[in-house]
A and B are shown apart, each in its own frame.
Chain A
């Protein structure tokens, strides 16, 4: 037979089954487009250079891999669905005299046509939107856009095309095998094999409830952010398992309960829907559970990344009350010599003069920072605790002398009375700087530090040194009377911790008059400070910490911008997958339901009643996953807040807002998809 014959049949088949093929082509186009964008972003050298971003290429590569995997799963899912619908058609060809190899050839031509359309369109849109994506990333990173750069590489086109052609080829091979095995008579008659009524699997039901309960409980009860990090994936896994189990068997349980309630069940509004769903759930529980989980993923991913990104400035501002922090010491054979305040401020002032930057203030902080276990009114070192400790329970303690305290507070609006505590050598000032993990409760009257008891003379509400440990451990500030006391505490912890003991830190904190200008020249400024420091002190024994607000902002933007981009693109792809699964589920059910509703009409159901029944059934199956996703997200809230704290975001309202907006937008898109697929469904059924 001529080749043209196959092309003709194949293209006609595709046209006749637009309802089935169009979404598949669109989906593959979209997935390939996203894949291409991710792949190219991960390889775009010029973009990386322009952004100075290191996270971008790594995470985009990861994103491309995720999309690739998801595409494979989706393509196979859609393919199995298409084959199921079209098998009887192929069976007819067989009966009409086409041999199986001819049918396979028709199939091949069909696959080739759809595949070519999808790949071409995908690459076209991918290349088109790549520009938009890269411009957007530049904005996310707050980098001035490199005018007109555009990145096209043949190898990326080739690689993307080959991967997707490969997936389509794999799907075709699966179809070919199933055609090869088919018996025409079986295919022709769409056989109504009796579906067994689903049974309640009690073990799964109980396991599901337990898993879901455990996941929720963990999220609700976890106190420490560090524990949240550790347990998050376990909790996610538990919730996923719980969701699947409950969808598979919990829905059956509920529906059977409803059916056993006779006065509820024997009502024309409920009876067709309940019994229909009972059987429907058996086939669709897994699909619906997947939709619920994907939807939850979209919600969590987008709301967290959006709030992280929009909280960048807040986060940086909170962590950097001043603009530049510098501390340095020389280590000569284990003997630590801290570089003095005068030396450090001299260096920074010098560089500032070179750059014409005006310094507003330079603060000096000499402090001791060490870790303890806080038990009642005792700060214990490791040697005092039997059996070691859990790192999550640690409390970080910042010690400063009263002189330092007064000096730091002098820069703020505190009166001189408030600045002077008048501590005796066995008295301290105590401040809870951060208590996220433990409820530190009432102020202790006395505090025993490493065996020595101090009287708490003052409860301080504002401690002039901010913690630099983020919000993940409890931080306590303690003011001691003088250097001698500080030194005794230093020696004590030195003895307890040995080589892990903390050293005195002397740190200057510089505030510049014009912050905006400093952000512009920040990178150069930092480099010059380091150069000067190295020129002044022998490089091989110098150890320094230079921490600037601009560098932190840049790093945070880099990281969170990448997260946001990834989150949104992956969220988009997940949404896409959700829509696709819903669509195909819907129309496959439409074909099955058609007969049922025709019968009901013959028995004496009004047309509008049939429509109402269809509607209530549709709404239930459709919005159950959305509801589940909403509940999951709500229960995930506490743990997500803790996780965000680890990432330095503690603005709860921002996160709540982002989550709500994400949910509303998602529900909107979901409803729009529902309305569209419902229309197709009605057309099939009615």
Chain B
């Protein structure tokens, strides 16, 4: 079943001075199946962030459509957008985006509080997620009291707790050391094994090599994709590296 369907997505920015048009996305089409774990790779300026912002309904495309669970994002009313986001999407950001006046528990519960869920239900939900992510003992700590990896796991818990259709992760390992990165990627794989659909934007080969499918974006179009198939992480890692090398040297895989 398709959870996310992106059809011929285009985004054109017009610079304020001189009216020069910049085509950030030039027609992106892809679909994500339920239970998939997709990584989107691309250099800086390839349009990754623009794509993610549009998927997160933080930005609007110039043309084309995004369907989440069969519902077109541009049909959602402006006022209900935040609620829609809250219900269907979970976010993990590079900079964690935890509120430092909240304990980890409160940070994780915040989306549920915004949905006005009952306290019992909140407490029922947080326990298994926190223990799965290995932060069960840290819930009463403040973000500044824990390490970067722990912060990112708390952020992942916050994304998971609403049971979203899709988790969008924007460079989740970008601010982490290698050990914390590995741990977080393991958590992501585990989440995926439990049936969670994940879409991750990254330019870390290591991170991408944990996904089941890798999309490459260059100059605003989907340039190439690799399926994991039965390959292990290391094999996928090599394939991704080769692809990137070819991309850089101008090879054409299509």
Footprint of B on A, CB under 8 Å? 192-195, 197, 262-263, 266-268, 271, 275-276, 278-279, 596, 599-609
Contacts and interface: CB of A to CB of B under 8 A. Distances in A.
Q: Among the interface residues A194, A266, A601, which one has the most CB atoms of the partner chain B within 10 A? A: A266
16 contacts: A192-B144, A262-B119, A266-B109, A268-B113, A268-B114, A271-B110, A275-B106, A276-B101, A278-B101, A602-B97, A603-B86, A603-B91, A603-B97, A606-B81, A606-B83, A608-B79
A609 B158 CA distance: 19
A605 B106 contact: no
A596 B82 CA distance: 16
Given A194-B142, A271-B106, A604 B100 contact: no
A263 B109 CA distance: 13
A194 B93 CA distance: 20
Task: Bin the interface of chain B by size.
Answer: 20 to 34
Contact of A266 (B81, B100, B113, B145): B113
A262 B119 CA distance: 7
B82 A604 contact: yes
B148 interface: no
A263 B58 CA distance: 31
A197 B119 CA distance: 23
Interface in B60-110: 79, 81-83, 85-86, 91, 93, 97-102, 106, 109-110
B122 interface: yes
Contacts of A268: 113-114, 116
Given A604-B83, A606-B79, 6 more contacts: A195-B144, A262-B119, A266-B112, A599-B98, A602-B91, A606-B83
Contact of A603 (B116, B142, B144, B158): B158
A600 B99 contact: yes
Given A279-B101, A603-B86, A197 B113 contact: no
B111 interface: yes
Contacts of B81: 606
A596 B101 contact: yes
Nearest to B122: A266
Most buried by A among B91, B98, B99, B119: B99
A279 B99 CA distance: 12
A605 B119 contact: no
Contact of B142 (A197, A605, A608): A197
Contacts of A596: 99, 101
A279 B81 CA distance: 30
Contact of A604 (B86, B102, B143): B86
Contact of B99 (A194, A599, A606): A599
Contact of B114 (A195, A599, A603): A603
Nearest to A608: B79
Given A603-B91, A604-B86, A606-B79, A275 B111 contact: no
Contacts of B99: 275, 596, 599-600
A276 B106 CA distance: 12
A489 B86 CA distance: 93
A194 B100 contact: yes
Contact of A194 (B97, B116, B145): B145
Given A262-B119, A266-B122, A604-B82, A194 B144 contact: yes
Interface of B: 58, 79, 81-83, 85-86, 91, 93, 97-102, 106, 109-114, 116, 119, 122, 142-145, 158
Given A194-B142, A602-B91, A271 B113 contact: yes
B119 A601 contact: no
Contacts of A607: 82
A279 B103 CA distance: 12
Nearest to B159: A603
A473 to B, nearest CB: 58
B74 to A, nearest CB: 18
Contacts of A194: 100, 142-145
B97 A275 contact: no
A604 to B, nearest CB: 3
A267 B116 CA distance: 6
A279 B101 CA distance: 7
Contacts of A604: 82-83, 85-86, 111, 114
B139 to A, nearest CB: 14
A605 B143 CA distance: 20
A65 B99 CA distance: 46
A278 B101 CA distance: 8
A71 B101 CA distance: 35
4 shortest interchain CB distances as A-B pairs: A194-B144, A604-B86, A606-B82, A275-B101
B82 A195 contact: no
Contacts of A266: 109, 112-113, 119, 122
A609 B144 CA distance: 26
A271 B100 CA distance: 13
Given A267-B113, A268-B116, A271-B110, A605 B82 contact: yes
Contacts of A603: 86, 91, 97, 110-111, 114, 158
Contacts of A262: 119
A70 to B, nearest CB: 33
B164 to A, nearest CB: 10
B111 A195 contact: no
A270 to B, nearest CB: 9
A271 B99 CA distance: 12
Most chain B Cβ neighbours within 10 Å, of A262, A279, A604, A605 = A604
B119 A263 contact: yes
B120 to A, nearest CB: 10
Contacts of A263: 119
Contacts of B119: 262-263, 266
A279 B158 CA distance: 22
A30 B108 CA distance: 49
Contacts of B143: 194
A593 to B, nearest CB: 10
B54 to A, nearest CB: 15
B109 to A, nearest CB: 7
Contacts of A609: 82, 114
Chain A CB within 10 Å, residue with most, of B58, B81, B100, B109: B100
A599 B99 CA distance: 7
Contacts of B98: 599
Contact of B93 (A193, A267, A602): A602
Nearest to B78: A607
B100 A601 contact: no
Contacts of A599: 97-99
Contacts of B93: 602
Contacts of A193: 144
A250 B58 CA distance: 41
A607 B85 CA distance: 13
A365 to B, nearest CB: 75
A562 to B, nearest CB: 50
B147 to A, nearest CB: 13
A192 B83 contact: no
Contacts of A279: 101
A195 B86 contact: no
A604 B143 CA distance: 20
A599 B143 CA distance: 14
A602 B107 CA distance: 13
A266 B109 CA distance: 8
A601 B109 CA distance: 15
A603 B99 CA distance: 11
B97 to A, nearest CB: 5
A566 B102 CA distance: 48
Nearest to A604: B86
A266 to B, nearest CB: 5
Nearest to A598: B97
Specify which of A263, A596, A606, A608 lies most central, judged by the most chain B CB atoms within 10 Å of its CB.
A606
A263 B82 CA distance: 23
Contacts of B83: 604, 606
Contacts of A278: 101
